[in-house]
Every structure is written in C-alpha cells, then in structure tokens.
Structure 1
Amino acid sequence: MVWSEELEELLFLWLAMFGTVIALRRGGHMRMTALVARLGPSTRAFAEAFALAAMAGFALLLLPDAIGFAAQQGAIHTPALGLPGSLRTAALPAGFGLIVLTALVQLPAHRLRDLLLAAIGLAAAGLALSVLAPWFDDIGNWSLVVFFVLLLGAGVAAGVPIGFAFGLATFAYLADAGGIPLSIMVGKMQEGMSSLILLAVPLFVFLGTLIEMTGMARAMVDSLAALFGHFRGGLSYVLLGAMYIVSGISGAKAADMAAVAPVLFPEMKRRGVPEGELVSLLAASGAMSETIPPSLVLIIIGSVTSVSIAALFAGGMLPALVLAIVLGIIARRNAGRDGHGAAPRAPVRIMARNFVIALPALVVPFLIRFAVADGIATATEVSTIGIFYSALVGLLVYRQFDWRRLWPMLVDSASLSGAILFIIGTASCMSWALTQSGFAMSLGAAMQAVPGGRDGFLLASIVVFIVLGSVLEGIPAMVLFGPLLFPVASQAGINEVHYAIVVILAMGIGLFAPPFGVGYYAACAIGRIDPAAGMRRIVPYLAALLIGLLIVAFVPAITTVLLPH
C-alpha cells in the first residue's frame, strides 16, 4: 500500500524531530561527561551553559536553510496521497525552532555570566574560522583536522551532546572550507533521519518498555534463576543468560540492564557477591550482548552500509555466545575466590512452574530473531508483531498492564528515538562531507597500507572502534565510520557481516570500559554502586571480552556459519 508508506515517511520525520526536542528538555541526548564530571562546580556550571548555547546556536544556524528547504519541497507531491513534500520536511524547521525555544526556557537555570561567556566564546570561534577561510582553502584536506579533530573533539570533551557536536563541526566545515551550499546539509540530515528502515528504532524501543511493564522480563529472569541459581556463581550465569535473552529488544542498553539488575542484585548481594563484582559483570554483559538481535546497532549499521539486516541478525548470535562463555569462565573463577554462598537447588516443581510462567515471554525474543533472520518479516514488521503480542500477553496472561504508564512510555520511546535519530542525521551529514572532501579515499588507502594485510586491517579496526566506542558511544561511531570503512573491508576480502560484528563488539568494549565508557557508569547508576568499586574488578572481564573478540575476529566461521547460503 503506497499511501501507507507515504504516511509513515511523513509522520516518522515529525516523530524524530519532536523526540529530539523532548530529549533536549529532559537532558536525554548522548554526551561524554567523563571530563566535565571531574571539573569543579563553577567550571562544570559553565560547561553546562556552553552545551546549551551550542545546541541553540546549531538550531539557529540551520533554521533559515531548513525553512528554505521545506519551501522548495512544496513543489513535489506524493503520488498516492497527493501531499506536498513540504508537509513532511516542515518537521525540520519546526524542530529547530522548538529546540531554540526549549533552550530559552532553560536559560534561567544557568548563571547569566556563564551564558554570556558561552555565547561570546561560540561567536569568537565562528569569527575566527571565517577569517581563516582562505587559509583552509590553501591547506586542502588538512583543514579536516581543524574541523573534525580539534573542533569536534573540543565540543565532545566539553559535554556538548554528540549529535550537536557532529552538526556544528560539519556546519563549520561546509561554511568555511567546503564551498558547498548549506541547504544540502539540511537535505542530507533529512535523508539520514527518515530512512524507513529506521522506523524499527522507535518500535523496538517501545517494545522494550512494554516487556518490562507487563512483567515479561521478570518472568524470564525468575525462570533462569530457578534453573541455574544453585550452581557456584549460578546467579552470575543467570545474569549473563538474562542479558543474552532480553538484550537489544528495548533499544537501549541501559534499559536492558535495568530489566535484569533489580531482579538479581538483591539476592546476589545476600549471597555475598561484592558490589564491584556485580557492576563489573553487569557492564561486561552489556558489552557482550551488543550483537544480539534485534540490537539497534545492527539495524542502524545495516541502514547506513546496506548490509542485510537479516544476515546481521543471524551472524550476531554465536559471537555473543562466545563472549558470554569467556565471561562465564571469569565469573566462575571469581565465585570460587570470593566464596559466594551457594543456594539450595530449587524443587523440580518450582523449576517447571517458573518455566511455564516464563514461556509466553520467552517466545518474544526468539520470534523476533528467527522471523527476521529467516526472511519471514522485516525488522520493522516483526517489531509491530512483537508489540501486539506483548500487549495481549500482558493483558490476558500476566494480567499486568498499567494503562496509566502507556503515555509516559510512548513519550520515553519518542525521546530516546529522537536522540538516536538526530545523531544519525548529523553523522550522515558529517560522513557525506568527509566523503566529498576525498577523506574516504585517503582513509581507505591508509587502512589498506596497514601491515599484515587482512589480519592487520582487522586488528587496526578493533583498536579504532574500541577508542571510538569509549569516546563517541556506539551509534555515532557506526554511522560516521561504517560507510567509510566497510568498502575497505570488502576490498580486503573480509565478509561484510563478519566485519560488522567484529567492529560492533569492539565498540561495545570501549563503551563499557572505564574511565571514559559511559556504559560502565550507566551500569553503576542502575546498580546504585560507586564506580570506584568496580574499577579493578572489571579488568579481567575486559581482558576476557578482548580474547573472545579476537577469537571471533580470526575465526570467521563463528559469524558466517548461520548465514543463509
């Protein structure tokens, strides 16, 4: 039905922009806070004001071009519904305008001196870049270092949300060194945000909140605890198994951890498991499960690189299992060293009862993964099936469906989706600008020249994505560098699905590795544990993850054996 696709495209872009605004109002945009958190109260307050000014400044800079772009699209009408294109693209200027208004509403929360200094600093930086524009022309692609290393790095380190930092760096490059009309940036941003493949993002985010609200997640964890909780370190295995089962459905790793930790941590503490061990295992399990479908990273990397999402879903299962096994070995060793108290074996009757209760819930992750991997449905289609099924199970089986939470859940889903999609939009612009500059060809030549051929390229990619994962988080790193590096991997003779799984796992290690990995601090916040408690204990888990990643990288069959031939 062509008309339904037109309607989806129209509403999806509005959802992305409204979600971006909601995320701004709630402070939900992804950002690196490791450096800002170490500053004194006064300097930290200035950094917060600077981030707010940067976000408002980016929206103001693009607003005129967004209005012009939307007006130009008015001459184009959709074939089925006959709607003007401006009806859809008007979401961009509307979103930018609301970002500015939201920033204005938040101004009273900051000191006037900090706001003035932030505005003066941004204006001075813009003026300096304009004055240096002729010099940028003279040095050619060396100007990329100024815009996409120094300027972007300064913005990210200062706590500017990553999506806005990408956007500001790209805008500055195009305005001062690119010689390209800025209206093209609006168009590229719209293309990046509104791909219908990405419609699965808000749907899976909402599905994850629905599974938690209906009690399905707790039922799965309780069943695993009854089956394996009596082994030495058994609850550690349960945590790994629970993360393997529920991971990726919510669209947010923090939500996956929040569905598992509150159920298991109290009993694990009662058995004498140290707090540092708890948070270390939780963070490591988050890194382990990055490739378990329907991980949003898999969907997004498939969208930006044109790799089959069904193939990615099939290829991600066994590599994550390899990492789960090596983590389980460390967990067992630590359980013996710490002398965790063993629990009595649950009666068979309790095991069977918990399994029967969990069975309707256990259907969901397997339904999603195998339906997409076997080509029965697309990721978007199966997410709607999962939502419908979970709502029915919650209402009819578990009798746990809080209608009052439905609206907040929808708003939460829009907020998280908007934050993700905005990053994809600005990162798409940045990736396009880097490609137009010739950087993609230079990067490809440099990576091809890495000693060791195919193996050297894989090792270099692992190092690069571990670093990127700790600094940029997973999705921005994938959207930015995926389109640049995947063609190089293909030329080196590396299977594209295998390469995707390797770099996603590397990114996950960086994301959950202290001191910069934001995923580690999310795990600490969910477990209500001091980050210092796990700094030492997580090292063996990170080493195990790295060993598991190297096994996956250099034994491609682990990834490709389940791929359709």
Structure 2
Amino acid sequence: MIILFLLVSLFILILFSVPVSFSIGLSSFLLFVSEKSLPLWVLTQRIFAGLDSFVILAVPLFILTGELMNECKITDKLIDACYALVGHVRGSLAQVNVLVSMIFAGISGSSQADTAGIGSVLIPAMIKKGYSRDFTVAVTCASSTMGVVIPPSITAVVYAASVNISVGTLFLGGIIPGILIAASQMAICYYYAVKYDYPREESYPIKERIAIISKAALPLLTPLIIIGGIIGGVFTATEAAAIAVVYSLLLAFIVYRNITLKQLWQILIRTGKMSSVALFCVGTSTIFSYIMAYYNVTDMLGSFITSISTSPVLFLMFIVGFFIVIGTFMDATPAIIVFAPIIAPIGESLGLNPIQLGVIVIVTLALGLITPPYGLCLMLAAQIGEISIEKAFKATFVFIIALLLVIMLLVLFPKLILFIPTKFAPNLM
C-alpha cells in the first residue's frame, strides 16, 4: 500500500504537468511525512548522498565541454567535413545530418544539445534544398538520439553511478550500438532520397576532401582523447571530462580565438543552469530509490519475475517494454536513478552482464526523446522546422521502428555490446 501511494501520487503530479524531478521529490516528501518510520532528516541526507559522488562530477564537466565546443562554432566545421565525406551520395544533406549527429554525440554527450546545435543549421539548409519539412525534422530529432548512446554520454555516467559499475566500460559498450543506429538511419535516408529524388551535393577531389576534414581534426580528437585515455587506464571517466574541458578551453582561446571572457561567463552560467536541473533530478530521484530499497521492492519484484521465467532474454524484453513506457513521460536521468538499482540486481541474478543491461536501458530510453508526450528532441526539432508535433511524430515513426530493431539485436546478440569492452578493456569488465 505504501509503494502504491508513492507511485499514485507521483503519476498524479506528473499528469498535472508538475516537472518530473519535482513530482518525484514531492511524492517522496509526502510519504516521509505520513510514514513515522522514516525520519525527515533522512530526506536531506539522501539528497546529499546522491550528489556526493566523484562519478556524478563528470555530468557538469561534459555539459561544459559541449557548451564550449558549441560556442567555438565547431558544428560548421563538422558539417563541412561530413559534406566532404558523403556529399556525392544521393540525399547527402540527410546523410550529413546523421553523420554530424554521430560525431557531435562523441563531443557533447547530450541529445538536446545535438538537436538544438545541428538542427538550427541543417533544418533550414535541408528545407532550402527541397527536402520536406516533415522528413527534415524527423531525421534531425531521430539522429540526435545517438547523443545518449555514443560516448561520452551523460546518461551513461548517471547509470554507472546508480548501479556502481565502470563508466568507461559502459562508454565502450555504447560504441557499436551507436554505429548501428547511425547505419540504420543512413539507410532510411538513402531510401527516401531515391524515392523522392532528393539531390546530391558536389563531389570534392581527394586533396580538397583531406584539406576540409583536417580543419575539423582538432574537435574530432575530443572523443578519441576521452575514450583512449579510459581504455589506456590513464584516467577515469570523471578525469577524462575535466581534461575535455581543458582541451575545449585551449581550442577556444588559443587555436580558434573566437570566445571572449564575456562569452565564457555566459557559457558558465548556461552550464550551471543545465547542471542544476540534471543534478536536482539526481538528488530527488535518489530519495525515491532509497524508499524502494527500504521497502524491499527489489526482492519482491525479483521474486515475481523469476517465478514467471528465468530467461534472460524474456527479462530484457520486459525491461525494454517497461522503459519504452517510462521514457514517454519521464527523462532518462530520474528514470535510471529510480529504476536501475531495482532491475540491476535482478539482471545479475539471471546471469546478465551489467554492461549489456545498462546499454539496452540507455538505448531504450533514447526512444523517449522522440516520442510524445515527453519527446524533448522531437519538440525542439519541430519548433525549429515550424511544423506540428503530430506531423513530426508521424514522419519520425520509421526511425522509431529502426531503433526498436536495433534494440532487439542488442537483446539477442550481447556481443554487439560486449565485444569492444572485452577486447580493449578486459580489466574494467
């Protein structure tokens, strides 16, 4: 009854459009007030404990890296480099959209930053070249889902901190799934380009291609520094985030020299605002997770699931379905902190690798970014493209199907996730 009260109060608050982090905090507070066995001082103690983590420190640092790179106008350099690579392919602007999103994901770690930064440049450009608004918006928001999958991913940092696994290993586990998502989206773009006769851009000579790509070489080193350092055991994921910030500052003030101290102050303010939202979600969600643990929800749910089936594949199917529903109205951060500590021990008892489970949860929650009513990336892209959410969602549906197929591949073939971590970082497994 107590857990039912907690869940009902949470969903009622969400239905009344109370922000999810506040809904979680308020429903938890109501339970603490009504339940005498839970002293109120535990409420504040758990919030602090949720934020008192060296791993969580990576979140604001990766946000700051993305903001610095955005302000350096690296999006333009990445777009030019991708033009040089795939400009000769039919529907090349759509292909560039996906390719830039994949690369940008390795720099910012945020899907929302991807949609806003790339969408503001490529959506008007694609419409001008004759691409339909619906398709343009769909490609932009769908490709931005790679931001939470391809390392460095802020969502992966939160998941690793929630279940106490290696962030670096989880980063590595997201590489092949991210490439699969990009490949499926590029295939869809090519099909639509042929069907609707979308244009191809000019083809560059080899020397000119190399010259254009070399201009984007320094920003492209960011994900290589992060992943390479983690694989080599040179630094942890949090230390990698700090090094990425220093590298971004060097690019901004020494190489490109296109950021002033006034702009840096504004970047720090924006980073502080975005970080406070993310960390507030972490803090309030930690209370919710504590309540679940206090009332042994993990044990009860584990017993219930294993009484039905002990098949790891069926369990993963259940997890996928569950997080598809959760992702439609809840951001990935609170969803992970609330539910990951519950499902992780169950998955471990069934013999699942925690990295496989983590990547599948993260990829599944990426669907929530492009599905209403939450659909933050869908709404951002629709706003930039000046179309309704309904039209945008209808056009995005084919990309949702493709993402679901990728998720099914990850469920059935765990080596797609585990190959790179096992090969390059067996000491972290």
Normalising by structure 2, we get a TM-score of 0.94
Query: Equivalents in 2 of 1:249, 1:187: separation in Å?
Result: 34
8 Å CA contact retained: 1:311, 1:497: yes
Find out whether 1:224 has 2:89 as its counterpart: no
CA displacement 1:261-312 (0-9 Å, x = unmatched) = 2332233223211111111112211224421111111111111101111110
Hey, what does 1:394 align to over in structure 2? 252
Give 2:323's aligned residue: 465
8 Å Cα contact 1:212/1:218 also seen in 2: no
* Shift >4 Å, 4+ stretches: none
Matched, 1:203 2:61: yes
Question: Are 1:143 and 2:37 counterparts?
Answer: no
Q: How far, CA to CA, are the matches of 1:289 and 1:363 in structure 2?
A: 17
Residue identity over aligned pairs, in percent, reads: 27
* Greater C-alpha Rg: 1
Offset, 1:450: 4.0
What is residue 372 of structure 2 aligned with on the other side?
Answer: 514
Residue 302 (structure 1) aligned with residue 160 (structure 2):
yes
> SS state of the match for residue 337, structure 2?
helix
- What displacement does 1:239 show? 1.4
Match of 1:385 in 2: 243
For structure 1, which segment, 520-529 or 294-303, has the greater mean C-alpha deviation from structure 2 after superposition? 520-529
Matches within 5 A, 1:100-249: 142-148=1-7, 150-177=8-35, 179-247=37-105, 249=107
User: Are 1:454 and 2:316 an aligned pair?
Assistant: no
Residue 402 of structure 2: aligned partner? 544
Structure 1 residues 251 and 228 mapped into 2: Cα distance closer, same or farther (>3 Å)? closer
8 Å CA contact retained: 1:511, 1:518:
yes
> Which piece of structure 1 moves more, 314-323 or 443-452?
443-452
Gaps of 5+ in 2: none
Contact (CA 8 Å) 1:248, 1:296: kept in 2 or not?
no
Please state how far the C-alpha of 1:418 moved relative to its aligned partner.
0.8
The letter for the 2-side match of 1:416 is M
- C-alpha separation between the residues in 1 aligned to 2:59 and 2:289? 21
Does 2:208 align with 1:342? Answer: no
Q: 1:500 to 1:364 in 2, by over 3 A?
A: same
**Secondary structure, aligned partner of 2:160:** helix
Structure 1: runs of 5 or more not aligned: 1-141
In 2, the alpha carbon distance for the partners of 1:401 and 1:225 equals 26
**Shift in alpha-carbon separation, 1:290–1:233, aligned structure 2, 3 A:** same
Counterpart-to-counterpart distance in 2, 1:214 and 1:323? 27
Equivalent AA in structure 2 for residue 144 of structure 1 = I
Q: Is the 8 A contact 1:552 1:558 kept in 2?
A: yes
Residue 348 (structure 1) shift = 3.4
Describe the superposition over 1:378-411 as per-residue Cα deviations: whole angstroms up to 9, x where unpaired: 1221222222222222233223123221111101
Correspondence for 1:438 among 285, 291, 296: 296
Cα RMSD, aligned residues only: 1.7
- 1:277 lines up with 2:138 in the alignment: no
Write the deviation string for residues 29-63 of structure 1: whole angstroms up to 9, x where unpaired.
xxxxxxxxxxxxxxxxxxxxxxxxxxxxxxxxxxx
Task: Please give the TM-score of this superposition, normalised by the length of structure 1.
Answer: 0.72
Paired amino acid for 1:447: I
Separation of aligned partners in 1, 2:382 and 2:233: 38
Per-residue Cα deviation, 1:312-359 (whole angstroms, up to 9, x for no partner): 011110011111111121111111112112222134343222112111
Aligned partners of 1:488 and 1:520: how far apart in 2? 33
Alpha-carbon separation, structure 2, partners of 1:434 and 1:162 = 17
Distance in 2 (alpha carbons) for counterparts of 1:262 and 1:161: 26
Instruction: Give CA-to-partner distance per residue, 1:75-125, whole Å, 9 cap, x none.
Output: xxxxxxxxxxxxxxxxxxxxxxxxxxxxxxxxxxxxxxxxxxxxxxxxxxx
Tell me how far 1:452 sits from its aligned partner. Answer: 6.6
The number of aligned residues is: 423
Inter-partner Cα distance in structure 1 for 2:411 and 2:232: 24
**Greater relative CO (CA pairs within 8 A, separation 6+):** 2
Amino acid at match of 2:379: Y
